[in-house]
Structure 1
Amino acid sequence: MLVAHPLTHPWTLRHDGPVTPSQLEEGAVFAAQVPGCVHSDLLAVGAIPDPFLDRNETEIGWVGRTGWRYDTTLSDAFEGHERTDLVFEGLDTFARVSVAGRQVGESQNMHRGYRWDISGQVGAEGVPLTVRFADAYSEADKVREEVGARPNVYPEPFNYVRKMASSFGWDWGPTVVTAGIWRPVRLESWSTARLAQVRPQVTVDGSTGTVRVQADLERTATGRSRSLRLRVSAGGQSATLDLSPEQDTAELRLQVQDVELWWPHSLGAQPRYETLVELLDPAADTVLDTWSRRLGFRTVALDTTADEHGSAFTIKVNGVPVFARGVNWIPDDVLPSRITPERYRLRLEQAKAANVDLVRIWGGGIYEDRAFYDACDELGLLVWQDFLFACAAYPEEGPLPAEVEAEARENVVRLMPHPSLVLWNGNNENLWGFEDWDWKPELDGATWGRGYYFDLLPRVVAELDPSRPYWAGSPWSGSTNLHPNDSRHGTTHLWEAWNRRDYADYLTDVPRFVAEFGWQAPPALATIERSVSDRPLASDSPGMLHHQKAEDGNGKLARGLAPHFADPADFDTWHYLTQLNQARAIATGIEHWRANWPRCAGSIVWQLNDCWPVTSWAAIDGDGHLKPLYFELQRLYADRLLTFTTDGGRIRLAAVNQGARPWNAPVELRRVAADGTTTARFTTTVEAAERSVAHVELPSELTCDADRAKEFWVADADGLRALHFAAADRDFAYPQAEFDVTVDTREHDTLITVTARTLLRDLLLRADRLDPAAATDRGRITLLPGEQAAFTVTGWDSPGIHAARRALRCVNGLSPEHA
């Protein structure tokens, strides 16, 4: 039987360059955590400052520009085996590995694993194992010199190396260029043969599920003279196949009757079936190796049918069309080896709690750990997986093509057992970049990645994982005869609204599938105060600007506020309004696109999470605080959504029903004055079939002679509410905010109840102002006079009325303590 021995400790780390940096003592040796990285080890002993604080990022740039060395010792832990392998699941990135002073292998790709035969080299105690890492910048320079320069959206060389691109910095992330043994390493000892690769393809026909297992074997010299057996078990069924001595590949099919289908959580349950593959030696009556996963039976297809609007881009699971309620995922830490299974689980549970049903893993990050995909399988979150190319022209010469193919093959096989995985995507924005970002003159005919996206990657997916769709890139319109970001076809990225226009621009079109769009906002105040020491805080203070990585980011925040609000008078107002504007912008887009289902079949918000404390597009900030956008997603992505739409000046109500049952409910429609008086009223019924949208035209008595500076519209149905203000906030006649507050302390939390005495527009409780560790359960809410809202707060040890009032803020009026 194959035996594995993890090599977790003890490891040491030391500098490995010709000149010792001034920040280190000559010959300094540090304890190393494996898996881990150089930065986390140096942080652990205080050798570098925390790059997440102030402008420390700039002080630690030297770490990524020099070499490092890891050392440990090996011992013979496995007697009686023919073969011992040294297995690294991930080396970041350019490493030379030596055992007893002899080099056994080298790596140049962070996104794949490595296995080297070291049989006979660990027969004594204390055999040294050394891993030397060269700096990624020097290696990138070598490749650039060999293949020629290529355009890139950032002045960093990430497109010349197979390494997490965003470690070189992004418009939401710091430049922290890592190195280290970032995934587990172990010794594996075995005899006769082992399972080198297992590829399970799962299909469903009616109620019958089929698992087609393809297995590759590796044999020792002894194993090449032996007949072996492959056995597959799943769902109470099993099948076997005998293998001749010269056979190194095998295929076995197993049928499971009356299977329960796996669904995204928005459509059903997530049953999975334990599947075991065993490699047996019948003559010796032994199990040589095993492989096991929990597989889900489901079908997935991508509908790109042409229609009167262009061509669709609709994901179908088990034949059911899905409006994808998505978020984009970036690495949850700029030091990805620090992300634990528990942290993955927390973030993904938060996504599900926000009614998200699809997570897109963006192409500038990593193929995530198995724990990520296992959690998605269990939680019912669909996964869209980018291959790791983003925002640059990638050479197709030198060492890169072979590495890209090896990386793709390994990760397709590694991830294909997961039922949550529904789409392979070739790249992020590179097809668009080639067409629109002035690359062509600089390239002058040089390669830029096209061969990867239209040949290599689809060929690998078709060979290894043919049950899943592949899409060449995002954005991509599905044809080289169309602009890659043509909203009538395929996937669309919408960044003009954020970069140059108002978010009302979202209302001008109905894309088939919005794979990226977003709006920035600062993180929670507690996150800012922990990571930025500027006092007093200002939106343009040095630390705040350092934690704003987007080009002209603050200018765009200001331009985004200008159509709606007067200039913020102070930092607190700026913070409140920019966070509110983020939630409103995303709401404008999603409400519009969901109201136009099935023409539009998905929205993927940029982005769910952050990798450090930063002003960004995220719904969850770098310290884990939930921004108002997070709670807005809960409302926007619920099965049922009420929203007002406008068409040629006419106001309509859309009742969006993504649920599996019809939605029939009475609706009360009102026109309401700023003082809360109802000036017109109309009652009707919405009837929305399952997975459909019903539209209600507002009668003339609700819209004629309306004073848009003093009146607004309200719709209520089944506890849901939609609001429509036709005037900008700065032009609306808001009353001064007046309200009452009560604070009730309970055993495990505190209830803050607000009773409105006037209209309160977009009331927010900023819980971190009560305590940096405090959290609340809801985001913005608009109250009419006499209405109440209750906020449940956890993590607040000293409840009080005055603190509660200071933490509340709404659009109308001064800060509440002055109300």
Structure 2
Amino acid sequence: MKQLEMKLAKWEFRGCGDEEWLPATVPGTVHTDLLKNGKIEDPFYGTNEHNLQWIDKKDWEYQTTLQLGEEWAGLSCTELIFEGLDTYADVYVNNVHVLAADNMFLAWRVDVKDQLKIGENNIRVRFRSVVKEDLLKLAKLGYTLPAPNDQSELGGLDEQRISVFARKAPYHYGWDWGPRFLTSGIWREASLEGRDEVQITDLYIRQNVITKEEARLTAVIEVDAPTAWQGMLRISADGLEWMRTVTLEGGKQQVEMDIVIDQPQLWWCRGLGEPHLYTFQADLVQGKEAIISRSVRTGLRSIQLIRERDAKGTSFSFALNGVPVFAKGANHIPNDSFITEVTEERYRHEIVTAVESNMNMLRVWGGGFYEEEIFYKLCDEYGLLVWQDFMFACSMYPGDEAFLANVKKEAEYNVKRLRNHPCIALWCGNNEIDSAWSQFEENMGWGWKEKIDAEHRASMWADYEKIFHHILPEAVTAFHPGVDYWPSSPLRDLTGNMDQHATRMAGDGDVHYWGVWHGIEPFENYNTKVGRFMSEYGFQSFPELKTVMSYAEEQDLELTSKVMLAHQKNGRGNLLIKEYMDMYLPQPKDFKAFLYMSQILQAEAIRIAIESHRRNKPYCMGTLYWQMNDCWPVASWAGMDYNGRWKALQYTVRASFKDVLLSIDGTDRERIDVHVVSDLRRAITAELMLRLYKFDGSVLREWTHPVELGADSTAIVFSSPVVELLEGHGSDEVVLEISLQADGQVIDRKVHYFVPETEIPLQHSVIKINETPDSGGLSFTVTSDVLARGVYLISEDEGIFSDNFFDLLPGQSKTIVFSQRGKDGRDWTPAVPKGLKVQSMVDFVSEDLL
């Protein structure tokens, strides 16, 4: 038997009609190839985005030459394989057209045996402009489909919104946090495969029943046999082995084998147990030899979306191996506008950040792309559940036969591609379309349907239902049984009446709450606007100065400069940050101080939200803030900026997602309630330590309170009127520190101020950093002579601190460790920070406030 494989390399590219061929990188994009050849400026710098919109109006072509030896002769099948073509592409082999591609989210395989020859062969891929292609589709349709995030004006298309026609990453057309770069290119691996005998094309371990006693599985093997074949099928996993005789006919077919594993080691998400993984291998055996093999790595687990009626509505929660999971995490967007620039190390940094931040779930949002294999592999390894959207967001889509057939192929391919990953917890049809259209409520939603005549409204909704109520759920049912499908996020239920749409806070479904930010509602509303599962909410900030200076000059450092507005995609975003800052924080002294203050503001908003969601367990069983990451350097909702640098939000999230959380609710200025939330599967016995301090550090009062908390529960463990706590002291001169302690260890600690942030006095502080004895410089303590708010540690090196942006009381010390990623991006290790500096809020406010 002969099996050959060749990666296609040494590519070159040019604009169609141009004379000069330039070196190209595959996988890659036209934009990145132009940049590497010095033909364009950095797309992310300044306002360069605006000057690069010509690229998507051209057709581009790539070519390479293959040298094939005699070993390629006489094979039964020789396939040209493109794992990803972006997007409309024609492929030629020795000038013979062999493939027309029209979906970025599909892999393409074509038998080119008859077009190849021994010796030199030319492979050419011509990419047709999505702009030129889809303007024709828009003209033919005759009316506009809603797509508000399509930045068509920036692209020079006025209001001709074409993003809905191509099966291409929606965010490439722009979003309210991302630029408009309509890429094209060979964006995943390209190869040539040859064979002359049977091949295993897919191996799926279907999980029928999973318990701690046994795992009942079915190995589903897809094979392609040039001719009839008979032999043995062997399945093995971690020292176990199962065999059966198989007889294959010529062509493509499926073979199944039921297997049972006794006392399996289950896969658990972070916080509930180890994410154990099994490697399953399928061998086709003749005689004593395996002639062809294929293996997959998967974890054994059951995952369910639990929706049960109760006194307040219908629950929305996940159960992993029968255990309720309070989902803690964030929404993931693509890590770059140019997907092929994201290395494994960058993916690992994001996933390790999520784990270090005590998360157990990420939502792959529907306006990006079905992520790279390494993303899901890392989620499997680190124990992160994945809420997986299909790639549809904030738009209405065509319903012609060709488009629907394309979507069906896309759904089947991607469900099959990802179904072995135990991290996949849910398939979701789309982002926000059900509530945006709001079919069953005339004056709700985003105002789309009210602008459209009755005939087109009816056809648009019918097309919507074909995709999201039929094609996509049917693909999940057929190819990934055991994992639930949810038609749209947010959604209350698929009722076919007004109770379907999540246009108001209700006792069922999932919620995207944007009253804070878009609605300019106060932060305090996070305490009352709580749903069964909070799948989106967020607040913006700027990245740190170092990141801002990667796209701006000193003269650009002004809130409404052209560069700052170009790197703020959310309309009034910069002014909204300022408006909220005026409400909640002291006035920053200049724009650089504004960057810092914006992060403090963002962190406080999301802290309030997360703590409120967790306090409301089990009514609320999930909190996924918007958003985890960025695709370019920008002011946005991210907790980790484009360069992987942690904002204040990321440090706050890490504290707010602890398995045991201490939360002080002082919304009512007349009293405080102290909550303890535990996600542990065991009861805890602890002690609450309360200390009332003056701002000079002197202790006015100290007392303890016993705490008994059941497994996986939440409770108010201390409550008091404020006047009783203060005992005559002024609310503007004291601070309450509360810590939860068990077995001599502090589990969590919080400070509480009795006046609004703007009324807390700030004093010039002397903050000292001292190396911890015998730590080799890997640990240091931070102290202050007065109350220091928002203590901000900075290093010249890239890395994270064990804590940052924290308040420090006089007379207390905080021990800090600085960590850096390894060269391969694996778990962080302690390091000595270079050029360590420290500041606090007082360094960033106007002098007239002091």
Find 1:661's aligned residue among 657, 679, 682.
Answer: 682
Residues 4 and 186 of structure 1 are in contact (CA less than 8 Å); yes or no, is this contact kept in structure 2? no
Partner of 1:437: 446
Partner of 1:425: 428
Partner of 1:117: 111
Question: Displacement, 1:798?
Answer: 9.6
Partner of 2:145: 150
- For residues 735 and 529 of structure 1, the distance between their equivalents in structure 2, rounded to whole angstroms, comes to 29
Residues 329 and 360 of structure 2 are in contact (CA less than 8 Å); yes or no, is this contact kept in structure 1? yes
Question: Displacement, 1:12?
Answer: 0.8
Partner of 2:8: 8
Q: 1:397 to 1:705 in 2, by over 3 A?
A: farther
Number of paired residues? 798
Residues 736 and 813 of structure 1 are in contact (CA less than 8 Å); yes or no, is this contact kept in structure 2? no
Q: 1:391 to 1:15 in 2, by over 3 A?
A: same
Question: Displacement, 1:762?
Answer: 2.5
Question: Displacement, 1:331?
Answer: 0.7
Moved more, 202-211 or 434-443: 202-211
Kindly report which structure 2 residues correspond to 1:89-168, keeping only aligned pairs within 5 A, or say none: 89-147=83-141, 148-155=143-150, 156=152, 157-168=162-173
Partner AA of 1:502 in structure 2 = P
Partner of 2:312: 309
1:176 corresponds to 2:201: no
Q: 1:53 to 1:140 in 2, by over 3 A?
A: same
Kindly report which structure 2 residues correspond to 1:406-805, keeping only aligned pairs within 5 A, or say none: 406-435=409-438, 436-441=445-450, 442=452, 443-448=456-461, 449-480=464-495, 481=497, 482=499, 483-485=501-503, 486-499=505-518, 500-535=520-555, 537-646=557-666, 649-700=670-721, 701-702=724-725, 707-718=730-741, 719=746, 720-732=748-760, 734-742=761-769, 744=771, 753-765=781-793, 767=794, 770-771=795-796, 773=798, 775-793=800-818, 804=837
> Aligned with 1:698: secondary structure?
strand
Partner of 1:277: 282
- For residues 675 and 48 of structure 1, the distance between their equivalents in structure 2, rounded to whole angstroms, comes to 57
- For residues 507 and 791 of structure 1, the distance between their equivalents in structure 2, rounded to whole angstroms, comes to 31
> Aligned with 2:174: secondary structure?
coil
RMSD: 2.6
Q: 1:549 to 1:749 in 2, by over 3 A?
A: farther
- For residues 167 and 319 of structure 1, the distance between their equivalents in structure 2, rounded to whole angstroms, comes to 39
> Aligned with 1:535: secondary structure?
helix
> Aligned with 1:137: secondary structure?
helix
Q: 1:322 to 1:90 in 2, by over 3 A?
A: same
Question: Displacement, 1:616?
Answer: 0.6
Residues 2 and 188 of structure 1 are in contact (CA less than 8 Å); yes or no, is this contact kept in structure 2? no
Find 1:320's aligned residue among 318, 323, 326.
Answer: 323
> Aligned with 1:169: secondary structure?
strand
1:100-155 Cα distance to aligned partner (Å, 9 max, x none): 11100110100010110111322221111110000111222233234442111124
Moved more, 197-206 or 610-619: 197-206
- For residues 677 and 531 of structure 2, the distance between their equivalents in structure 1, rounded to whole angstroms, comes to 17
Task: Flag structure 2 segments of 5+ consecutive residues without an equivalent.
Answer: 153-161, 439-444, 821-830
Question: Displacement, 1:409?
Answer: 0.3
Find 2:262's aligned residue among 243, 257, 266.
Answer: 257
Question: Displacement, 1:29?
Answer: 1.2
Find 2:75's aligned residue among 63, 81, 87.
Answer: 81
> Aligned with 1:344: secondary structure?
helix
Moved more, 585-594 or 555-564: 555-564
Find 1:240's aligned residue among 238, 244, 261.
Answer: 244
Question: Displacement, 1:338?
Answer: 1.6
Question: Displacement, 1:748?
Answer: 7.8
Partner AA of 2:717 in structure 1 = V
Residues 2 and 288 of structure 1 are in contact (CA less than 8 Å); yes or no, is this contact kept in structure 2? no
Residues 676 and 758 of structure 1 are in contact (CA less than 8 Å); yes or no, is this contact kept in structure 2? yes
- For residues 742 and 214 of structure 1, the distance between their equivalents in structure 2, rounded to whole angstroms, comes to 60
> Aligned with 2:665: secondary structure?
strand
1:48 corresponds to 2:79: no
1:266 corresponds to 2:271: yes
- For residues 833 and 306 of structure 2, the distance between their equivalents in structure 1, rounded to whole angstroms, comes to 55
Q: 1:699 to 1:433 in 2, by over 3 A?
A: closer
> Aligned with 1:163: secondary structure?
coil
1:194 corresponds to 2:199: yes
Partner of 1:23: none
> Aligned with 1:104: secondary structure?
strand
Q: 1:747 to 1:688 in 2, by over 3 A?
A: closer
> Aligned with 1:298: secondary structure?
coil
- For residues 402 and 662 of structure 1, the distance between their equivalents in structure 2, rounded to whole angstroms, comes to 53
Task: Flag structure 1 segments of 5+ consecutive residues without an equivalent.
Answer: 18-25
Partner of 2:294: 291
Question: Displacement, 1:241?
Answer: 4.1
- For residues 632 and 96 of structure 1, the distance between their equivalents in structure 2, rounded to whole angstroms, comes to 49
Question: Displacement, 1:559?
Answer: 1.8
Residues 68 and 120 of structure 2 are in contact (CA less than 8 Å); yes or no, is this contact kept in structure 1? no
Q: 1:813 to 1:330 in 2, by over 3 A?
A: closer
Partner of 1:22: none
1:159-178 Cα distance to aligned partner (Å, 9 max, x none): 11100111111111111111
Residues 576 and 809 of structure 1 are in contact (CA less than 8 Å); yes or no, is this contact kept in structure 2? no
Residues 192 and 288 of structure 1 are in contact (CA less than 8 Å); yes or no, is this contact kept in structure 2? no
> Aligned with 1:374: secondary structure?
helix
1:58-113 Cα distance to aligned partner (Å, 9 max, x none): 12111122111011122335344211011111000100001111100110100010
> Aligned with 2:127: secondary structure?
strand
Question: Displacement, 1:774?
Answer: 6.3
- For residues 783 and 762 of structure 2, the distance between their equivalents in structure 1, rounded to whole angstroms, comes to 15
> Aligned with 1:450: secondary structure?
helix
- For residues 797 and 307 of structure 1, the distance between their equivalents in structure 2, rounded to whole angstroms, comes to 53
Q: 1:546 to 1:504 in 2, by over 3 A?
A: same
Question: Displacement, 1:811?
Answer: 5.4
Residues 749 and 792 of structure 1 are in contact (CA less than 8 Å); yes or no, is this contact kept in structure 2? no
- For residues 632 and 337 of structure 1, the distance between their equivalents in structure 2, rounded to whole angstroms, comes to 31
Question: Displacement, 1:683?
Answer: 1.6
- For residues 249 and 799 of structure 1, the distance between their equivalents in structure 2, rounded to whole angstroms, comes to 58
> Aligned with 2:717: secondary structure?
strand
Residues 85 and 103 of structure 2 are in contact (CA less than 8 Å); yes or no, is this contact kept in structure 1? yes
- For residues 704 and 458 of structure 1, the distance between their equivalents in structure 2, rounded to whole angstroms, comes to 61
TM-score, length-normalised on structure 2?
A: 0.89
Residues 225 and 248 of structure 2 are in contact (CA less than 8 Å); yes or no, is this contact kept in structure 1? no
Residues 83 and 107 of structure 2 are in contact (CA less than 8 Å); yes or no, is this contact kept in structure 1? yes
> Aligned with 1:40: secondary structure?
helix
Partner AA of 2:179 in structure 1 = P
Percent of residue pairs identical = 31
Partner AA of 1:690 in structure 2 = A
Residues 96 and 103 of structure 1 are in contact (CA less than 8 Å); yes or no, is this contact kept in structure 2? yes
Find 1:58's aligned residue among 31, 50, 55.
Answer: 50
1:388 corresponds to 2:388: no
- For residues 684 and 623 of structure 2, the distance between their equivalents in structure 1, rounded to whole angstroms, comes to 22
Partner AA of 1:460 in structure 2 = A
Q: 1:704 to 1:374 in 2, by over 3 A?
A: same
Question: Displacement, 1:706?
Answer: 6.6
1:30 corresponds to 2:19: no
- For residues 740 and 628 of structure 1, the distance between their equivalents in structure 2, rounded to whole angstroms, comes to 19
